[in-house]
Amino acid sequence: MVSPVETQGLTKEFRVGFWGKRVRVLSDLNLEVREGEVFGYLGPNGAGKTTTLKLITGLLKPTSGSVRIFGRDCWDFSIKRKVGFLPENPYFYEYLTGRELLNFYGQLVGLRPGERRETIERLAKHVHLSAALDLPLRKYSKGMLQRIGLAQALLNDPDLILLDEPMSGLDPIGRREIRDLIIELKGQGKTVFFSSHIIPDVELLCDRVGILVGGCLVAQGPVDQMLEARIESIEVTVSRVPPGLVEELDHWLVSPPVTKGERLVLTVKDEGTLAELLTRLIEAKAAIHAAAPQRESLEEYFLRHAQPRGGP
Amino acid sequence: MKRLGLTIPVLLVASLVGSTLLAAVLDVRGGHAPAPRGWRFLPEARYLKPALLGFHAVSADLLWIQIVQYVGAHVETDRKFPQLAKALDVATTLDPYFIEPYRFGALYLLYLGRQPQAAVALLERGANANPERWELPHDLGRYYYLEVRDDSQALRWWERAATLPGRPEYLPRFVARLYARTGRADTALELWLELYRTTQDEYMKSLALREIERLKSAHGSPLTANESGSLLP
Amino acid sequence: MKVAAIALNAFREAVRDRILYAILVFALVMLAGSTILVTISVGGEEKIIKDLGLACISIFGTLIAVFLGIGLVSKEIEKRTIYSVISKPIHRYQFILGKYLGLVLTLLANVALMALGLIGLAYLWEGTVSPRLVLAILFIFLELMLVTALALLFSTFSSPTLSAIFTLCLFVAGHLTADLRLFAARFGGVLSKAAIEPLYFLLPNLSRLNLKDQAVHSLGIDGGTTILSFLYAIFYIAALVLAAMAIFHQRDFQ
């Protein structure tokens, strides 16, 4: 099984400013995306996510290390045919209409005229842009640009789809549409790699996740695994607790009990303590409504790892 | 929306009126000391030409147009043309193949500027730069004939012009006549015979015949026609 | 063909750019204006019309070549439209070649229009169409192709403003190079002669592409020289475009 995307020791430096000072943007990246999965690439702004994507698509050259797409060098032509790319905040030629743009890109990916026409109609319908196809792109809203961007990325029916911040700047409806599209692509057996800083979307959509901070990949793995890692506490929602019992149970609690209407929320540290607590509560004939393990959310996980570091 | 109010329109009108009045006053006063008319700062053609980046020909045209205006303006006023020769020099250096500045320029220099040497020099330069053009040696011949009354010089130039394509019909016979006048009757005779033979014009034929008769009678051999009708002795 | 697709797209972009029309209208107005200008001349009317016409085509063509050429690559990078193009399965050189050809096509359309205007005017004055005039226009077009290639080259690595300055400087230098060499030969010392020689061969000798004098006057046009000058231009243009391709190939698109 060849990885759709695999980087080894990928490093990128830029020369900045008048004196050409070297700035390292990515350090020793060892990324792996598996076939048929949705991979989420998370990181704060400026972490180097877009740089990584540009290295994958061949817009930038690595300073050292390598990028391989389906086992081949990313500049290999036959590979580019299997890849679709949607850049961040995409800009397209304003003076063209949507149809002209897709037609032009269709020519560049090698579609023949008949195929092109058909594909354009199909994709436009898919992204709900059929009505706007003949409007000039300068009249498109942000959401429309995002959608036509997706359409152009799918022209060549790619096996690997790379999306840079596909949800950015979209309203909830727009985000939902992109989410649905990604799910659909996955259903077709395609591999989707997208970068984002909207964590709930990533949590929902992705099979595996990579977290990039300050140019370094600090974590990479299945979403669940990363979250299962720590169960912080367990919240038990109860009612009809006999008075006095709460003070008694206080030493088991991690934080003061919280009253929610008629119910009480007790927080314990782990499963062991939970068992004891439940036993006592049941003995006291309290009503147990819920026991919910509080995993560290991806957001907290992320924030924890995204603390400013002292440098790579 | 808040209304525009009066302040801005009033100030606008005032500014317009003010600027118009000032413009009128300036017109009456005449501005700064009059800018030098003409081309006091015209650089030497040798340096100007490369600086024009390949547009020297069109620049010569524009300069020529300016020269025409310059002459026109001064003819009406002070009748002085101090920069004419220099400007013509530059124009003809920028485009040596532009004929009109040589011809008309020489006329202006001669009759308006009273600079005959400059006129002759100009025409000679033109003739050297354009050896295929009849106009320039023709004009030189005319100058020597009409102004200087130097027949041998006139002859020299007109003879040169007569060999060039497109030359006027009268040149060959001027040349012939001048040969006669400068004492070279035989050459004159040959020329007239040649003319007689080649011309299509009836008037020219009769003219040529008359000259041939005159020359022959002046030199003693009567005119007879041989068998083929030729007048050659 | 992918190059053709890119070329047509570049052409489309130029045609939808209003600046082009402004320049074109101005040029045609000037052409018409030349007929008025000749009325205040004494003699030389045909020559003046042709000279002005050729100068117009040359100057306005150069303006178009520079204005459109300097943005060929840098505008795409600035507007980030380039990301979705370069990530497609095309060679980088195809992009450069396509852009160049698209601009040449635009120039062709403009020059053809202006040429028709001039030839029409000349025909009205003279009653014939002079093949020399057409040849001069052809060589002007060749010069424009060269200037465009220059602008393209600079566009691959510098901003539009700098590209414009460099291109115009080289345009001026290209016209001066032959004369400077003569000056150096006649008046310069050993040092200036040594310095001038390599420059002379490196810089584009644009005076070789200037047939305006020959067209307007009946000066001899040497067939051999014409063909060689034509080939010189083609080779130089090829060198410029290839250099642009090489630079573009290496570029990072930040």
A187 pLDDT exceeds 80? yes
Closest to A10 (Cα-Cα) out of B232, A24, C30, B182: A24
Distance in Å, alpha carbon of B98 to nearest chain C alpha carbon:
8
Please state the rounded mean pLDDT for residues A303-307. 68
Closest to C27 (Cα-Cα) out of C106, C113, C103, C125: C113
Domain layout of chain C by residue ranges: 2-250
The answer to whether B94 and B101 are in contact (CB under 8 A) is no
The answer to whether B133 and B98 are in contact (CB under 8 A) is no
Place of tokens 């295929």: B132
Cα C75 to chain centroid distance, Å, stands at: 20
Q: Which two tokens stand for residue C217?
A: 């006057």
Q: Do B68 and C42 touch (CB under 8 A)?
A: yes
CA atoms within 13 A on the CB side of A18: 0
**Which tops the pLDDT comparison, B192 or A107?**
A107
Please state the rounded mean pLDDT for residues A186-198. 90
In this complex, does chain A touch chain B, defined as having at least 3 beta-carbon pairs under 8 Å apart?
no
CA–CA gap between residue B71 and residue B189 (Å, rounded): 44
Question: In the structure, what pLDDT confidence band is assigned to residue B1 with cuts at 50, 70 and 90?
Answer: low
Closest to A195 (Cα-Cα) out of A221, A164, A149, A161: A164
Picking from C12, C18, C83 by the largest number of A CB atoms within 10 A of its own CB, the best residue to mutate is: C83
The answer to whether B158 and B173 are in contact (CB under 8 A) is no
Query: What is the pLDDT at residue A40?
Result: 92
* A-to-C residue pairs, Cβ atoms closer than 8 angstroms: 75
The percent of residues in chain A predicted with pLDDT above 70, rounded, is: 93
Closest to A145 (Cα-Cα) out of A129, A164, A161, A162: A129
**Which tops the pLDDT comparison, B176 or C141?**
C141
Beta strand segments in C107-191, E = none
ipTM: 0.84
Is the CB of C12 inside 8 Å of chain A's CB atoms?
Answer: yes
Question: In the structure, what pLDDT confidence band is assigned to residue B72 with cuts at 50, 70 and 90?
Answer: confident
Query: What is the pLDDT at residue B227?
Result: 38
If DSSP codes are grouped into helix, strand and coil, which group holds residue B18?
A: helix
Distance in Å, alpha carbon of A207 to nearest chain C alpha carbon:
26
CA–CA gap between residue B141 and residue B210 (Å, rounded): 24
Least confident of B57-61, B214-218, C174-178, C211-215: B214-218
Please state the rounded mean pLDDT for residues B76-103. 90
Task: Say whether domain B44-164 belongs to CATH 1.25.40.10.
Answer: yes
Nearest C-alpha in C relative to B131? C219
CA atoms within 13 A on the CB side of C61: 31
Question: In the structure, what pLDDT confidence band is assigned to residue B61 with cuts at 50, 70 and 90?
Answer: very high
Q: Do B97 and C48 touch (CB under 8 A)?
A: no
Is the CB of C15 inside 8 Å of chain A's CB atoms?
Answer: no
The percent of residues in chain B predicted with pLDDT above 90, rounded, is: 33
Please state the rounded mean pLDDT for residues B72-82. 85
The answer to whether C232 and C205 are in contact (CB under 8 A) is yes
**Which tops the pLDDT comparison, C228 or A1?**
C228
The answer to whether A35 and A3 are in contact (CB under 8 A) is yes
Query: What is the pLDDT at residue A174?
Result: 82
Tell me which chain C residues have a C-beta less than 8 angstroms from the C-beta of B66: none
A257 pLDDT exceeds 90? no
Tell me which chain C residues have a C-beta less than 8 angstroms from the C-beta of A95: 12-13, 16-17
Query: What is the pLDDT at residue A158?
Result: 93
Please state the rounded mean pLDDT for residues B60-67. 92
Tell me which chain B residues have a C-beta less than 8 angstroms from the C-beta of C39: none
Task: Please give the mean pLDDT across all residues of chain B.
Answer: 83
Least confident of B104-113, B189-198, C7-16: B189-198
CA–CA gap between residue B212 and residue B223 (Å, rounded): 9
Backbone angles phi, psi at C120, to 5 degrees: -60, -45
Please state the rounded mean pLDDT for residues C18-40. 85
Closest to B63 (Cα-Cα) out of B84, B81, B79, B35: B84
Is the CB of B220 inside 8 Å of chain C's CB atoms?
Answer: no
What would the pLDDT profile of A12-56 be if each residue is shown by its tens digit? 988 887 787 888 899 999 999 999 999 999 888 888 899 999 999
Please state the rounded mean pLDDT for residues C92-104. 94
Q: Do C12 and A96 touch (CB under 8 A)?
A: yes
Residues 6+ apart with CB under 8 A from B5: none
Is the CB of A41 inside 8 Å of chain C's CB atoms?
Answer: no
Task: Please give the mean pLDDT across all residues of chain C.
Answer: 88
Domains and CATH numbers, chain A: 5-227 (3.40.50.300), 231-295 (3.30.70)
Nearest C-alpha in C relative to A149? C84
The answer to whether A178 and A146 are in contact (CB under 8 A) is yes
Place of tokens 């006129």: B119
Query: What is the pLDDT at residue A91?
Result: 83
The answer to whether C128 and C148 are in contact (CB under 8 A) is no
Least confident of A118-122, C86-90, C184-188: C184-188
The answer to whether C205 and C134 are in contact (CB under 8 A) is no
Question: In the structure, what pLDDT confidence band is assigned to residue A312 with cuts at 50, 70 and 90?
Answer: very low
If DSSP codes are grouped into helix, strand and coil, which group holds residue A170?
A: coil
Query: What is the pLDDT at residue C246?
Result: 93
Question: In the structure, what pLDDT confidence band is assigned to residue A249 with cuts at 50, 70 and 90?
Answer: confident
The answer to whether A166 and A86 are in contact (CB under 8 A) is yes
Tell me which chain C residues have a C-beta less than 8 angstroms from the C-beta of B91: none
Is the CB of A18 inside 8 Å of chain C's CB atoms?
Answer: no
- Residue A93 carries which side chain, given as an amino acid letter? Y
Among the partner residues C5, C17, C79, nearest to A104 by beta-carbon distance: C5
Q: Which DSSP category does A254 fall into?
A: E
Q: Do A104 and C254 touch (CB under 8 A)?
A: no
Among the partner residues A80, A89, A95, nearest to C88 by beta-carbon distance: A80
Question: In the structure, what pLDDT confidence band is assigned to residue A310 with cuts at 50, 70 and 90?
Answer: very low
CA–CA gap between residue A133 and residue A52 (Å, rounded): 32
Q: List the beta bridge partners of residue A259.
A: A264
What would the pLDDT profile of A63-118 be if each residue is shown by its tens digit? 999 999 998 888 887 888 899 999 988 888 888 999 999 999 999 998 999 889 99
Query: What is the pLDDT at residue B34?
Result: 58
What would the pLDDT profile of C30-89 be if each residue is shown by its tens digit? 888 888 888 888 888 888 888 999 999 999 999 999 988 998 888 888 888 888 898 899
**Which tops the pLDDT comparison, A302 or C199?**
C199
* B-to-C residue pairs, Cβ atoms closer than 8 angstroms: 60
B68 pLDDT exceeds 70? yes
Closest to C159 (Cα-Cα) out of C70, C252, C65, C63: C70
Closest to C167 (Cα-Cα) out of C249, C251, C103, C98: C103
Among the partner residues C47, C175, C210, nearest to B61 by beta-carbon distance: C47
The percent of residues in chain C predicted with pLDDT above 90, rounded, is: 39
Closest to C137 (Cα-Cα) out of C115, C170, C160, C104: C115
Q: Do A81 and C90 touch (CB under 8 A)?
A: no
Going B76 to B77 to B81 to B83, the CA torsion angle's sign is: negative
Distance in Å, alpha carbon of C9 to nearest chain A alpha carbon:
7
Q: Do C55 and B95 touch (CB under 8 A)?
A: no
CA–CA gap between residue C6 and residue A108 (Å, rounded): 8
Please state the rounded mean pLDDT for residues C123-134. 86
C224 pLDDT exceeds 70? yes
Domain layout of chain B by residue ranges: 44-164, 169-233
Q: Which chains pack against C, by 3+ Cβ pairs within 8 A?
A: A, B
Q: Are strands A287-295 and A231-239 parallel, antiparallel or unpaired?
A: antiparallel
C250 pLDDT exceeds 90? no
In this complex, does chain A touch chain C, defined as having at least 3 beta-carbon pairs under 8 Å apart?
yes
Q: Which two tokens stand for residue C11?
A: 């052409």
Q: Do B53 and C54 touch (CB under 8 A)?
A: no
